[in-house]
Amino acid sequence: MKILVCISNVPDTTTKITFTNDNTQFNTAGVQFIVNPYDEIALSRAIELCEGGKGTVTVINVGESQTEPTIRKALAIGADDAVRINAAPRDAYFTAYQIAEYAKTTDFDMILCGRESIDYNGSQVAAMIGEFLDIPSISIIKKLDYDGSTATIEREIEGGKEIVSVSGKFVASCAEGTAEPKIPNMRGIMSARTKPLQAIEAKEIEQVSKIDSFETPPPRGTVKLVPADETAKLIDLLHQEAKVI
């Protein structure tokens, strides 16, 4: 079995988000980059499914050379090899196209993504890969079992879950619950240095979107404190002043 896991390189979750160049660029100064937390979950499930010699896991990232430490981290967690498509990911459409084009050159049984990248929060790449390859895509999954040909997947829906079965190749985007994120151990970190990491050039495709600028939310006013024994006053404020109940 061969599994392809898509990894995006995102700012650490504690990052204070600021912008430069007239709010057109994310300010990367002093920012620590990590493997997107959901992609860690996808990768961990892929590694579990391949345990005991049942298969191999390839990680893929669309990014310029500065994403290599993040790719090495994925190798340290336990991926077997890695591919980097050498381009700045301009949008999900571009990214998904690159990954789909690469996937066509190798015979993968499944492609796993994270539910969304925590920077642009698109939730787009996985389903777009599915469409570029004309194979099923299941978005926002919480559980994935695979018997070698058929996958049984639990997908999140509003107020519940749906159980889907897919035979043949598919793409899925993984959310919490799919696996416990694995932490690299010393052996993993050592061996990651020598695992294969191949860089290939991107292909051109029409541009469909671009980010013009960013805004940060307006700061909130100061909190209005209500004494602990005056809960009725809080209800009153929510009813009369805030008008939310």
Partner 1 sequence: MSVLVYVEQVDGKFKKSVFEAVSYAKAIADNQGGNLTAIAIGNVDESELKALGNYGASKVLNVTNDQLKNFVNQAYASIIAEAAKKENADIVVLSNSFSGKGLAPRIAVKLKAGLVDGAVELPKTDGGKFSVKKIAFSGKAFAITELTSAVKIIALNPNAFGVKETTGNITIESFSPEVKATDLTAIVKEIVRATNKISLPDAELVVSAGRGLKGPENWGMIEELADLLGAATACSKPVSDADWRPHSEHVGQTGIAISPNLYIAIGISGAIQHLAGVSSSKVIVVINKDPEAPFFKVADYGIVGDAFEVVPKLIEALKAHKG
Ligand X SMILES: Nc1ncnc2c1ncn2[C@@H]1O[C@H](COP(=O)(O)O)[C@@H](O)[C@H]1O
Cβ-Cβ contacts under 8 Å for 50 (sequence gap 6 or more): 1, 3, 56, 57
DSSP 112-135: EEES--TTT----HHHHHHHHHT-
**Partner whose footprint covers residue 29, from partner 1, ligand X, ligand FAD, none (CB < 5 to 8 Å by kind):** none
Choose which of 56, 86, 123, 191 interacts with partner 1 (CB under 8 A): 123
242 makes contact, choosing from ligand FAD, ligand X, partner 1, none, with CB < 5 to 8 Å by partner type, with partner 1
Rounded CA-CA distance 51/237 in Å is 57
- In whole angstroms, how close is the CB of 239 to ligand X at the nearest point? 38
Among 31, 48, 109, 120, binds partner 1 (CB under 8 A): 120
Concatenating the DSSP letter of every residue in 141-198 gives EEEEEE-SSEEEEEEEETTEEEEEEEES-EEEEE-TTS-PPP---HHHHHHHTTS-EE
Where helices occur in 28-67 by DSSP H, the ranges are 37-50
25 interacts with partner 1 by CB under 8 A = no
Minimal distance in Å, beta carbon 177 to partner 1? 5
**Element holding 25 (H helix, E strand):** strand 25-26
Site string for partner 1, 154-173 (x = CB under 8 A): -xxxxxxxxxxxxxx-x---
Q: At what angle do helices 125-133 and 92-104 cross, to 10 degrees?
A: 40
CB of 191 to partner 1, least distance (A): 28
Dihedral (CA of 172, 174, 180, 184) sign: positive
Distance (Å, whole) CA 129 – CA 222: 45
CB of 10 to ligand FAD, least distance (A): 10
- Residue placing its CB nearer to partner 1 in the complex, 165 or 194: 165
> Which positions from 6 through 35 interact with ligand FAD, judged by CB under 6 A?
13
Nearest residue (CB) to ligand FAD, 52 versus 217? 217
Of residues 190-229, which lie at the interface with partner 1 (CB under 8 A)?
206-217, 220-221, 223-229
Q: Is 218 helix (H, G, I), strand (E, B) or coil?
A: coil
Asked if 37 interacts with ligand FAD (CB under 6 A), we say yes
Whole-angstrom Cα distance, residue 73 to residue 92? 23
For ligand FAD, which is the closer residue by CB, 57 or 175? 175
- Residues in contact with ligand X by the rule CB under 6 A: 6-8, 36, 38-39, 60-63, 89, 92, 95, 113-114, 116-117, 120-126
Shortest distance (Å) from residue 1 CB to ligand FAD: 29
* Phi, psi of 87, deg, nearest 5: -165, 150
Chain contacts with ligand FAD (rule: CB under 6 A): 13, 37
